[in-house]
């Protein structure tokens, strides 16, 4: 009897998540086809903090310089890079006179490194809009005009985009699809939009587009200098203050190679996975239990039904798999992820559980380093 009830609950939960995914698909609409801007074209400050980005910075800057939007400036801050980043930037400067290169100042105590770099950039920026973008992104030529169009036409103070994630190694292909799955399937972001419930607000830190006056009003990166999740923190702040913001599907506008190998994936996600729960250990444990129960429950029931020749249990587990597959299909097609990776989802979830456990350990021991800096010592005072 327990297995029957548990199977029905699993099916019901995944049905709810399928409905949530369909609703989110409407709210995560694309801004790719937004019409042209009327009137004067406001200046956009493209702000790129870089630290040891010799693999990525050239493609990022070149794609930025080829924007169809005419009125923009590009400021890049080299934050104490120890590789060839500065050399590449100087080469690009010879080709693109619009490129401005800044050298980062020493990191003050109490600041997360990236936020200090972004704060310095904001002090030099002149635009009506501040566009903070990571150095590992590659931009479609319509990116800026689409962002400005959305902000002007819909009176938005803050925009974030979920990009197409480029993957190379096997581990990247397993883990990175979890980002759109978490946002698209498990988070009812429309509750944040409609009912101003900040807990459901989400953004993506690779692409943060602010109206200048609003950025100043909330104190920008200075106001969140000790936080680990700039994207989620900003989204929650804008929701809390009743400001207008949106997270869009940006897969047609930009691509991102977030990480390049197992080590980068592990440490990249470990630095902030536990921080997402705001240090609430109970919520952290409940989410882990949920993942085990509802992602692996159908597999366990399927195996049980096969060994016991129970067609009823087999049918219930099959319904769960179909619902999960439909969710994955919607998300994967929206973000150009190959459908065959659906069959690796058990390995994906197991890997994610390992990363979250690692994140909890590094959070408690303050051992997490990212791009040569300890992440947590900026928070412990």
Domains of the chain, start order: 10-24+277-371 (no CATH), 42-173+187-272 (3.90.550.10)
With beta carbons less than 8 A apart as the criterion, state whether 203 and 235 touch: yes
CA dihedral (222, 226, 230, 232) positive or negative: negative
Residues sharing a CB contact under 8 Å with residue 291, sequence separation 6 or more, in sequence order: 349, 352, 353
Decide if 148 contacts 37 (C-beta within 8 A).
yes
Residue whose tokens read 């200046």: 43
d(CA 120, CA 75) in angstroms, rounded, equals: 10
Which of the four pLDDT bands, split at 50, 70 and 90, describes residue 380? very low
Strand partners, 102: 77
Give the pTM: 0.91
- For residue range 29-83, what is the model confidence (pLDDT) as tens digits? 767 555 567 678 999 999 999 999 999 999 999 999 999 999 999 999 999 999 9
Mean pLDDT of 97-116: 94
Residue 353, pLDDT > 80, answer yes
Top pLDDT among 26 and 209 is at 209
DSSP 244: -
Cα–Cα dist 115/108, whole Å: 11
pLDDT band, residue 336 (cuts 50/70/90):
confident
254-280 confidence digits (pLDDT tens): 999 988 888 888 888 887 788 777 778
Average pLDDT value over all residues in the chain: 90
Which is higher by pLDDT, 283 or 48? 48
Q: Show the tokens assigned to 204.
A: 């993506």
């Amino acid at each position: 009897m327990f297995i029957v009830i548990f199977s029905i609950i699993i099916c019901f939960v995944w049905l709810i998540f399928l409905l949530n995914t369909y609703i989110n698909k409407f709210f995560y609409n694309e801004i790719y086809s937004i019409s042209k801007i009327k009137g004067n074209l406001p200046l956009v400050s493209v702000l790129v903090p870089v630290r040891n980005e010799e693999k990525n910075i050239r493609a990022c800057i070149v794609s930025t310089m080829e924007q169809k939007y005419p009125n923009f400036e590009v400021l890049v801050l080299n934050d104490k890079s120890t590789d060839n980043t500065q050399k590449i930037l100087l080469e690009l400067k010879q080709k693109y006179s619009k490129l401005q290169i800044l050298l980062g100042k020493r990191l003050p105590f109490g600041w997360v490194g990236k936020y200090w770099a972004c704060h310095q950039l904001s002090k030099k920026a002149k635009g009506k809009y501040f566009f903070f973008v990571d150095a590992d992104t590659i931009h479609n030529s319509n990116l800026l005009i689409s962002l400005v169009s959305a902000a002007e036409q819909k009176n938005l103070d803050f925009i974030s985009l979920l990009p197409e994630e480029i993957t190379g190694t096997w581990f990247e292909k397993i883990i990175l699809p979890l980002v759109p799955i978490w946002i698209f399937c498990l988070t009812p972001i429309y509750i944040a939009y409609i009912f101003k419930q900040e807990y459901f607000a989400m953004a993506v830190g690779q692409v943060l587009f602010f109206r200048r006056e609003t950025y100043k009003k909330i104190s920008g990166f200075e106001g969140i200098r000790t936080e680990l999740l700039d994207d989620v923190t900003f989204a929650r702040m804008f929701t809390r203050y009743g400001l207008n913001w949106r997270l869009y599907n940006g897969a047609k506008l930009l691509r991102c190679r977030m990480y390049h190998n197992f080590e980068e994936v592990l440490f990249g996600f470990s630095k902030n996975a536990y921080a997402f729960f705001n240090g609430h250990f109970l919520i952290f444990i409940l989410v882990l239990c949920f993942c085990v129960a509802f992602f692996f429950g159908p597999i366990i029931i399927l195996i049980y039904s096969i060994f016991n020749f129970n067609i009823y249990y087999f049918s219930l587990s099959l319904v769960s798999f179909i619902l999960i597959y439909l969710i994955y299909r919607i998300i994967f097609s929206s973000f150009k992820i190959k459908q065959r990776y659906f069959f690796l989802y058990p390995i994906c979830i197991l890997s994610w559980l390992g990363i979250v456990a690692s994140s909890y350990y590094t959070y408690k021991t303050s051992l997490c380093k990212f791009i040569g800096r300890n992440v947590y010592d900026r928070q412990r005072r």
